[in-house]
Every structure is written in C-alpha cells, then in structure tokens.
Amino acid sequence: MEKEKSGKSTISKIVMILGLLLVVAGFCLFFFTDNNKPENNDEDKPNEENTEKEPVLVEDVEYSGKGCFNSNCSITFVKDRNYTLNTDRNGYDSWIFTDDYNGYLKIDVNYVEKNGNYEVVDYKVMSRITGEDITSIKTENELREKLGLYVEGTYTEQLKLSAIVTVGIDTPSDESYDPNIEYDNNLELKLTDAKDIDYNMSYRFKASDNVVVSDDFTNVVIDGQTYTEGNSYTFTFNVSKDETFDYYVYEITNIK
C-alpha cells in the first residue's frame, strides 16, 4: 500500500511540474512577442496631416487683390471663398491680371487646403473673348492687345454712341480755383466698338463753345452737328494711362 501511495505522489509532482513549466513558457512567449512588435511610427500613419493632398480645381474665380509684407507677397482670388497664391516680389510685380480685366478673363485655380487656408498651387488665365490661354503674358500692353482693348496711342475709329453719361465743368476742388479762368467743360460719352466693348470717353470743351446736351440726354449738339444716342460716328481719340491712379484715360479730340 505504501508503494502505491508513493507512486501516485510522484505522478502528481510530475504533472504539477509540467504545468508550471507550461505557464512559464507561455509567459516568456508573450513577453518576447510583445517586446518585438514594430514601433508605431506616426510618419507612417495614413492620417490627414501626413497624406499628400491632390490639388482641387476651381473654375472662374475673380482676382481680388494683392499685397506684400517685406519679401513675402500674395495674390488673392475669390469665388465661394478666398484662394491665395503665395509668391515673391517678382511674382507680385509681374501680375498684370488686375480687377480692371475681370470681365474679360476666365481664371481657373488649383488649390490645396493647409491649416484652414486655401493655397493656390497653379492657375490658368484665358480670354473670355477668344478662349485663348494667355497665362504666359507678361506686359499689360500685350494683354490689352490680346483682349482687343486699346493700348496707349491715338486712334480714329467708328464707334456707336451708346449713352451720354455726364456733362460738367472741370474745376479744381481746392483753393486754386480762380473765377477769372475759363475752365474746361467735360462731356462724358459711353462708346461701343465693333467687338461690343464699352468705353467711357471724355470730350473737353470751353463754356463758350457751341455744345448743347438735350434735357433727356439722348443727343448732343457740337458746333451745329447733332449726335444721337444709338447711332455710329467717327471718333478720333487719345489713349493714355494715369500712372498715379493706374487706369486708362480716353480723350476725344474730334467727332465726325
């Protein structure tokens, strides 16, 4: 009987030892596996911050303005929101597509969103009149020629008298006004060319000249000749640029 008990006891001890060995082996395996997992590298995460975004196309934006702070410059476009093209002083100075031409241009931009800002990475400028890509144009005279607008010079053209806009005396607004001086009068006319482009042009005359505008502003008499709204006449005019205020001036010198 003692031998039987002793055998049972030995078997129990062996089973117990095997069980402990299995527990220890399992713990070691878990520890080894856990410590050899690859580190979680944030740069490899496919999150929004580290994923390069594809540019988004927005068509038919309008030029809104430009500005510089030291050498950092920007050009702003607007549609449903503001889109900003970051550039340097050269890019700022060479930008010729100002709001004077918004009606003549179709501007498309590609942007990416960064930190809540919509940054332009590329753009394309086309003529609404011809559909031509004019992005590469660098001078305003070339731009105006492409758009069919007059550049600086003297012209004689047949234009339609679309409207008599205003008539008044060009008097200085400061203390230099002299009642003994006969100041020019200014007749402003809206004229339309063959491409259906409108221009506001000025005709200067003295009060002593024979110029009379009808009460309803539909016709004007100049030196006995009547010019009626809706009819076409031959105008000779000068085109110049006011560098102070950065706009073009059209002055009529003769009407036939």
**254 strand-pairing partners:** 236
- Which run of H or of E encompasses 74? strand 72-78
Instruction: Give the chain's mean pLDDT.
Output: 84
What confidence tens digit (pLDDT) does each residue in 187-199 have? 999 999 998 999 9
Q: Give the separation between CA 200 and CA 230, rounded to whole angstroms.
A: 15
Q: What is the dihedral of CA 4, 10, 16, 22, to 10 degrees?
A: -120
Q: What is the pTM of this model?
A: 0.68
What confidence tens digit (pLDDT) does each residue in 96-155 have? 998 889 899 999 999 999 988 999 999 999 999 889 999 999 999 999 999 989 999 999
- The three-state secondary structure class of 10 is helix
pLDDT at 158: 97
pLDDT at 18: 60
Per the structure block, which two tokens stand in for 16? 């117990």
Domains of the chain, first to last: 56-146 (2.40.50), 155-170+183-255 (2.40.50)
**61 strand-pairing partners:** 107
Residue 5 burial (10 A CB sphere; 0-12, 13-18, 19+): exposed
